Each structure stands twice: as C-alpha cells, then as structure tokens.
Structure 1
Amino acid sequence: MVDTSTAKQLVQAIIDNLEQPVPGRRPVHTIGVGVKGEFVASDVACTYCIAEHFNGKPVRVSVRFSNGLGGVNQHDGWSDVRGMATRFHISGERGSDLIATTLGEFFVRNVDDFFEFSKIAKREKYERRPWWRKVWDLLQLKIPPRNPYPDETKNVDEGALRYANRHRFAQLGIFQVGLIGAPESYARASYHAVHTFWVTAPDGVRRPVRFSWQPVAGVRNTDPKAVPRDRYLFDELRDRLQRWPARFMLMMTIGEEGDALDDPTKPWPGTRIRVVMGTLTLLKVSEDQEADGERISFNPNRLAPGIEVSNDPILEARLGAYEVSREMRGGCPFKWR
C-alpha cells in the first residue's frame, strides 16, 4: 500500500491544479448524483467468480454518476470524462465497489508518472486561435485545438498534450480525453474500470479480468457542434427513471498470456473473450443525495471475496488517495472486514 504521506501528496497535487476547490467535497468528480438500483448476475457469472454478487440473487446497488472536473460548476455539456461508481450491498458491512469512467485507458502508469503529469498539465489561460492557425495545423496533419466554451477561461489540454508528446504510453488516454464529448444521458455512456483484477472460479481457477458497463439503450453523445448545454444530466436521468428503468450490462473481459496486467495505459486486444456477468437496473434517483451519493466512500480496492487486486501500482495508490480524500470530506470510512 502507498504510504500515507505519498497518498496525501497525490490528493494535494490534484487540488493544486483545480480552479475552484470545494472544501468538504471530492476534489475531482465533485458534481455527482446518487441513484438506487438492483444487480442480477447472469446464469454463467457464478462459474467464473465466487463473489457473492455473482450468485444470481438480486443485490441492492448504489450508483453515483459524476462529471470528471473538480469544482462547483456543473458543465454538463463540456467534453469531459464521466464517472460511474457502484457499491454492491452484499452481506456484511464491507460491500464491494466497482469504479469506472468513460475513459477506456488511463494516462499514467504509476505514481511517479502522475506527479510528473501534475507538474506539466497545469491549467493555462485559454486563448481563441485565429482561423489561419487552425488551417496551418490541418496542413501539418494536426487536429486544431477546439475553441473555449462560453465561460471557460482556463484549460488543461495544452499541458496534457505536451505530456503526451513526451510519453508515448500516455497518448491513448489523453487523446481519448480530448475527443470524449458529452453524453446525452448518464445512462447512455460506456464506463470502464481500467485496472486488471483477478477473479476466482468455484474450481479454484484464477483469471485476470477487466470490467466495463455497457448501456442497454446504446451510447449516444450530444452534438459537438452545438452550443454546450449546462445542468441537464441530473434532470434527464430523473425524468428517464420516472418513465422506465435504465439498464447496464456488466461485461468482463478475460486476459490472456502477454496482456498487460499491471499497466492501465495499455489496452487489451479486441479479440479477448468477453462474458456478460449480469444486468444492473437503475430504479430511481435517490431522495437523500447526501447519504446515497456524497457520503458513500467508494474505493476500487473494496472487493468481495473472490475478486482480488492486481499488481497495478495506480490501483494500489488509489486505496490510500481515496482514503485521504474521504477523511478530508468526512465520508464513511473504508472497511476491510
């Protein structure tokens, strides 16, 4: 486990790069909405993993959808990474968490990479580029930077791109961030838990896997050419769930020899076997957002027996960093047992 001092430095590095930190709230993914739902495993899930929520019985679930940026401004229509943190309320106090985002791969491999990224990818004044510079970019086979949003004064894009130009491993994740767009609904985006986990089957076989949530309604973004809307995602989700439940399929990709098991910046080949592990049904937006969204302390290392962490150093670092963040905002403590 990353020591407490390093975990505090990780959280502080994030806070230092925020335009408007919010005391007592999450430093990033600050804006979020808590939703209640139910998960039912597929018929084959229990043959791959002995974890309790894969035994086929309905499991109560708490989900927090969020925008990636930190601060009090919602910016629903901005191109931004979205989060989906899920708590499976299984027997005992511990539960099991799965934290995923719309980012398919991460952009740093370890803690040292993250500290370097934090120094380079500082927020900078956003200046509108004249048309002739955009043409020049295109002639050089470069994608011109987008114009700033109506109320956007600073951005992190330029610094992140400089980091990507220096580090090939970061390019996939950072380019995805730049092109990710804004979803029409939290229920119409794919969410990926970028880390590798180990699952144990009833016969004792252990397999390296990666999880993702796929929306049954399909993936759909807003029009990137339109003026970004603000503050629509919460109301859209509430209205959607008042009419009909929304569903996600939990997909588990099984790794093979040669796949990166400890590096979240490296994707696995698309030819890998994928198993449908179950269906999540979102039922309603919680009436008590403080209890069912803000005070829940999700942690990707909170896992049911039958699921184990890999040697991914970023996954290891998130345990301590999430706990530091939790202590800063007075969230519910991490329970190992």
Structure 2
Amino acid sequence: MKNYFVSLIGASVLSAFCGSALAQDGKIQAADMVALFEKMSGQHPGHRKAHARGLCATGVFIPSPNDLFKGAPLLHNGELPVVMRFSLGGGDPDADERVAGVRGVGIQIKLPDGSIHHFTGNNFPVFAGKDPDTFHGFLSTMLPDESGKSDPAKTLAYAEEHPSVKAHMAWAQNAQAPASFANVEYYGLHTFYYESADKERTKFRWRLSPDLGIKNLTADEIMSKPSDFLADALAEQLQEGPVSFTLIASIGQEEDSTNDPSVQWPAVREKVELGAIRLTDSGGEQCKPLNFDPNVFSAGFSPSDDPVLRMRSAAYAISFGKRLSGQ
C-alpha cells in the first residue's frame, strides 16, 4: 500500500487536477484538492503542491502535418521551441527517485505568433476516478488517523463502491521505477478536439512514446542508484546520442468516452503522428516560472467536457500562486 500511495499521489495529483473552479456537481472545488494534496504530502513552501520534484529540459518540436489535423498552426510552422518538465508524483521535493510509481511530463511549445500549446501527461493510462469528487474521496481514504496510520481497508472498500478507481489501482500495484525520464511513455488521459478551417472536427487522445524505448530498473539496479539519479541519467543519454519522443494521437469514434478519464479507448483506434520532440539540453531553471496548464491550446484545439480536465486549470493556478508567493 505504501508504494501504491506514492504512485497515486504522483500520478493523478498535479496532472489530473487543474481545471475550472468547481467540479461538475459543484461539491469539490479546486482549493479543496490543493488542500488535500498538502495534507497528504506535507507543507513544502515555494514548491508545486504535486509533482514537486522535477527536472527541466529543452528542445524542439518537429511537426508531422497530416489530413486529420490539416491547417493546425502547431503542425505548419516548422520546428518550434519546446520546454519540458519531467517529474515524480507527489508533493515532496526531496522524493526518492528510485521508488516505483508516477512520472509526469509538462510540455510547452511556443509558436511564432507568441501563442503556446501545452501537453501535460503521466505514465499511467487511466485516471483514478471518473470525476473530481470520486478522486477526492479516494485520496481521502488514505489520510492517516490520529495515530499516524492509514487503513488500507478503507481504500479497498471505497474502490468496491466506486469501481471507476479500480483500473488505476491495478496499474499502480504493478508500477515500476523507470531507468530515465526518457524511457517512459506518457499519456494525456483526457479527450481533446481539433477543428480545421473547413469545420472538420477530430476527436483524439494523445500519448508521448519514447524513441529510446521503455526501460525500468531491476531490483539490483535500484540498489545501486542514488536517490537523485534521474538528472544524471538524462544528461548521460543526451551525451550519448539523440533523445526524442513521438507524439501520437489516437482518433476517437462516436462511442468512445469524452468525459471519463478512468476509461481507456480501444487499442485498435487509428493512430496519427503529430510530430516528434527532440531534446537538446537538460537541467536549468526554465521551468520554474511556468505553469503547465493542460487547458492551454494553440489555434484549432479545444477541450472536451471531461470534469477532471475542467478542474485542472484552477487547481494548477492555485498551486502556481502559492508557489510564487512562497507558500
């Protein structure tokens, strides 16, 4: 349960909760989510309230124009500058990087007209709950009691009553420790749309596939690594050769869910390459002033009615404001 707790906090927290001020039913507000994150990870002034430990990298986005996304400025302006932030889940800025669980990514692509496009994802393919209320309730079962202990039975009972958390639980129980941020596949989780100039609308979900392949640490490798090995691992890969990812869109059908990130689309859906991200450098403070709000898009793109996606912007904004003010 300990590893699962760490995974869940890392994965779903910062990536999943940053949208509008209220959940769809008006019960859970973004401020409630941020407060819960602080209870679970403790107070760490000046740091992100989730995905606190991270590593910045820079590079270029090399687009792959195609008919489904025709006319998208994101894909028709040549190579574009990219800033990426890789992270561990949870709110501890000193988290042990050898621990299995959540890894996240925030991507900012800047277009020539000054507009930006964000992609924000995690290494898990399904979210822990169909909506903000379910997720908040799920995490709340893991809070310790007066004696400082949490009761796994509460979490299991909650899952039986709220089955939309089960797929994420299954993922978390089998999560491993990646060998590098460059050896992780990241999922956008939510449904998005692209509408071309002639009003053709494409429904899609995205993932970022590592061109170096997925690689996890063995038990022996974990024992030999320091707790902060990921920055050196990525730097060494950059010295050895190209480090890149392929951005892939899965094209949705009418029957595919648009508002439930706890449900995956069928694997047989059509796949379209949107482009490649090639890293050129890692380290530095470029990411420090950035807020990787997943609801920031370039022209033609728009969000779905996913209540989790809607809540993320407000939660990110609250966390961002606290971080910049030293809270």
Fold shared, TM-score > 0.5 on shorter chain: yes
- Aligned to 1:80, the other structure's residue is in SS state coil
Q: Return closer, same or farther for 1:306/1:215 CA change in 2, 3 Å cut-off.
A: same
CA deviation after TM superposition for structure 1 residue 234, in Å: 0.8
In the alignment, the residues of structure 1 paired with residue 57 and residue 145 of structure 2 have an alpha-carbon distance, to the nearest angstrom, of 35
Q: Return closer, same or farther for 1:77/1:2 CA change in 2, 3 Å cut-off.
A: same
Q: Which residue of 2 aligns with 1:131?
A: none
Given that 2:191 and 2:303 are in contact with CA atoms closer than 8 Å, whether structure 1 keeps it comes out as yes
Q: Which residue of 2 aligns with 1:82?
A: 103
Q: How does 1:145-294 map to 2 (within 5 A)?
A: 160-224=155-219, 227-228=222-223, 229=225, 230-286=227-283, 288-289=284-285, 292-294=286-288
Residue type at the aligned position of 1:207 = T
In the alignment, the residues of structure 2 paired with residue 183 and residue 155 of structure 1 have an alpha-carbon distance, to the nearest angstrom, of 27
Q: Which residue of 2 aligns with 1:133?
A: none
Q: Which residue of 2 aligns with 1:323?
A: 317
In the alignment, the residues of structure 1 paired with residue 228 and residue 321 of structure 2 have an alpha-carbon distance, to the nearest angstrom, of 28
Q: How does 1:62-141 map to 2 (within 5 A)?
A: 62-123=83-144
Q: Is the radius of gyration larger for structure 1 or structure 2?
A: 1
Q: 2:71 aligns with which of 26, 42, 50?
A: 50
Residue type at the aligned position of 2:143 = K
CA deviation after TM superposition for structure 1 residue 178, in Å: 2.1
Q: Which residue of 2 aligns with 1:135?
A: none
TM-score (norm 1): 0.82
In the alignment, the residues of structure 2 paired with residue 119 and residue 48 of structure 1 have an alpha-carbon distance, to the nearest angstrom, of 41
Instruction: Determine if the alignment matches structure 1 residue 7 to structure 2 residue 4.
Output: no
C-alpha RMSD over aligned residues: 2.4
In the alignment, the residues of structure 2 paired with residue 215 and residue 115 of structure 1 have an alpha-carbon distance, to the nearest angstrom, of 31
- Aligned to 2:191, the other structure's residue is in SS state strand
Q: Residue by residue, what CA displacement relative to the aligned partner does 1:111-168 show, whole Å, maximum 9, x if unpaired?
A: 221221232122589xxxxxxxxxxxxxxxxxxxxxxxxxxx9789765444323321
Q: Return closer, same or farther for 1:206/1:313 CA change in 2, 3 Å cut-off.
A: same
Identity of aligned residues (%): 25
Residue type at the aligned position of 2:296 = R
Given that 2:105 and 2:121 are in contact with CA atoms closer than 8 Å, whether structure 1 keeps it comes out as yes
In the alignment, the residues of structure 2 paired with residue 156 and residue 184 of structure 1 have an alpha-carbon distance, to the nearest angstrom, of 31
CA deviation after TM superposition for structure 1 residue 176, in Å: 0.7
Moved more, 273-282 or 6-15: 6-15
Gaps of 5+ in 2: 1-19
TM-score (norm 2): 0.85
Q: Residue by residue, what CA displacement relative to the aligned partner does 1:14-35 show, whole Å, maximum 9, x if unpaired?
A: 11111x3311110111010110
Q: Which residue of 2 aligns with 1:41?
A: 63
- Aligned to 1:37, the other structure's residue is in SS state strand
Q: Residue by residue, what CA displacement relative to the aligned partner does 1:29-71 show, whole Å, maximum 9, x if unpaired?
A: 1010110010111142x64253322115000000000011221
In the alignment, the residues of structure 1 paired with residue 208 and residue 116 of structure 2 have an alpha-carbon distance, to the nearest angstrom, of 19
Given that 2:250 and 2:269 are in contact with CA atoms closer than 8 Å, whether structure 1 keeps it comes out as yes
**Moved segments of 4+, more than 6 Å:** 153-158
CA deviation after TM superposition for structure 1 residue 232, in Å: 1.0
Given that 2:47 and 2:93 are in contact with CA atoms closer than 8 Å, whether structure 1 keeps it comes out as no
In the alignment, the residues of structure 1 paired with residue 245 and residue 97 of structure 2 have an alpha-carbon distance, to the nearest angstrom, of 21
Q: 2:80 aligns with which of 59, 62, 82?
A: 59
Gaps of 5+ in 1: 126-152, 332-337
Given that 1:181 and 1:224 are in contact with CA atoms closer than 8 Å, whether structure 2 keeps it comes out as no
Residue type at the aligned position of 2:31 = K
Q: 1:28 aligns with which of 44, 47, 50?
A: 50
Moved more, 29-38 or 217-226: 217-226
Given that 2:86 and 2:181 are in contact with CA atoms closer than 8 Å, whether structure 1 keeps it comes out as yes
Moved more, 261-270 or 195-204: 195-204
Residue type at the aligned position of 1:39 = F
In the alignment, the residues of structure 1 paired with residue 196 and residue 219 of structure 2 have an alpha-carbon distance, to the nearest angstrom, of 44
In the alignment, the residues of structure 2 paired with residue 155 and residue 59 of structure 1 have an alpha-carbon distance, to the nearest angstrom, of 47
Aligned residues: 299
In the alignment, the residues of structure 1 paired with residue 151 and residue 44 of structure 2 have an alpha-carbon distance, to the nearest angstrom, of 19
